[in-house]
Amino acid sequence: MLNIDIIIPVYNAEEYLERCINSIDIDTNRNVTVILVNDGSTDNSLMLCKRMKKKYKKNIKVINQENKGVSDARNAGLEYVSGDYITFMDPDDAYDIGYIKKCVQKIKKFNNPDLVITPYKRVYGEKKIVNDLYDITNEEIILSGDDLLKTMYGMNISEVVNPAIMNDLSPVWGKFYKKSLILGKKFADIKEVGSEDLLFNINILKLDNKILYIPECYYLYTKTNNSSITTNFDENLISSWENLFSLMKTQAKREKYNTEYFTRLDVRQYLSKMSLVRAIYNSKNLTVKNKVSIAKKTVKNPEYNKFKYSDFPNMISRWKILMWLCDHEYMYVLYIIIRLLEPYKNKLK
């Protein structure tokens, strides 16, 4: 029997946690151990964790720590893993019916690959939008670590159609990692890197890894905070992404990846400037003038300008317009457009 460990960092998740755990279907999947890491919750999350522990006994472990953030919580969970495969889950997400059972069957069928990837559904209340990560619907595919790493580094020029999907493969949830693949690995602090998930995946992958993609087996990515489109601007935002790109480039040099990796990373950096601008413009603790000033300074960075919008012939028109405005530093116009489009972002992906 294959044993699966599921690490769930928990912070003020009392509204969703029981639904999350129930979707695992522990009564059916007795080969599962759920590692709940309560990260200093101030609501009733810890009490719920203990109640779930009492209900499922040996199938649940509870770790309690002061609030240190999601990366540290996941790292704490990694100290307690013992299963053949480890996966991660967020407490406001869930699994589709039969998810674990189907995945275990495929893992066995394909002789225990190093990494297993599943697609996901974005959940907005009762509405579910399918995100198939590869252009197949009913057949498993085998990938190499080289295949996946290239995609993690970025798109090639011909692949750039809808840049909004660039990070669809980055999350650690919706994946099953062979224990030997991640033994001794840690998550970086999100304040230090723009995407701790992306960096974690890049750090653990090797070119010769065997990777299985299982279609029609969905992780439910619940967009619980969809109504909130603003947040405070984090002064570490720009530097954390620059640090991520620097670490990726350093790794590519150290591992002697071919030139395609560096080109893909340049494409990622070019396209990422729009995400940074959007984050700046949606912040609620800056004046419009300050937002435009920070955004303009960001897009002037030469590292984000190794391409221009016209270099991507397959890019969809709405992205070409946004990138054209970004390239030409029409920042006030871009501000108005982004703020108008933000409530519709889920439909526009």
Per-residue model confidence as pLDDT tens digits over 196-214: 999 999 999 999 999 999 9
d(CA 3, CA 32): 6
Domain finish residue from 222, 249, 284: 222
Residues 241, 299, single domain; the answer is: yes
Nearest to 86 by CA among 183, 213, 209: 183
**pLDDT-based confidence at residue 348 (cuts at 50, 70, 90):** low
d(CA 143, CA 116): 10
Residues 18, 101, single domain; the answer is: yes
Distance from the Cα of residue 17 to its chain's centroid: 20
Amino acid at 210: K
CB 298 within 8 A of CB 273: yes
Q: Can you give the pLDDT at residue 227?
A: 38
Q: Can you give the pLDDT at residue 85?
A: 98
151 falls within a domain: no
How do residues 273-329 score in pLDDT, each as one tens digit? Answer: 999 999 999 998 899 999 999 999 999 999 999 999 999 999 999 999 999 999 999
Residues 192, 76, single domain; the answer is: yes
| Cβ neighbours for 70, distance < 8 A, ≥ 6 positions apart | 9, 11, 39, 187, 190, 196
295 falls within a domain: yes
Residues 206, 293, single domain; the answer is: no
DSSP state of 95: E
Q: What is the mean pLDDT of residues 244-259?
A: 97
| Boundaries of domain holding 213 | 4-133+168-222
Strands of the chain (E only): list them: 4-10, 32-39, 60-65, 85-88, 94-95, 115-117, 120-124, 127-131, 141-144, 175-178, 210-213, 219-222
d(CA 60, CA 33): 6
Residues 45, 126, single domain; the answer is: yes
pLDDT of 228 > 50? The answer is: no
255 falls within a domain: yes
d(CA 264, CA 156): 5
The proportion of the chain whose per-residue pLDDT surpasses 90, expressed as a percent, equals 86
**pLDDT-based confidence at residue 224 (cuts at 50, 70, 90):** low
104 falls within a domain: yes
Nearest to 62 by CA among 83, 45, 43, 86: 45
How many Å is the Cα radius of gyration of the chain?
A: 21
Residues 23, 120, single domain; the answer is: yes
Element (H, E) at 66: none
340 falls within a domain: yes
CB 73 within 8 A of CB 49: no
Tally of structural domains, the chain: 2
Least confident stretch, 3-7, 85-89, 297-301, 345-349:
345-349
Residues 194, 285, single domain; the answer is: no
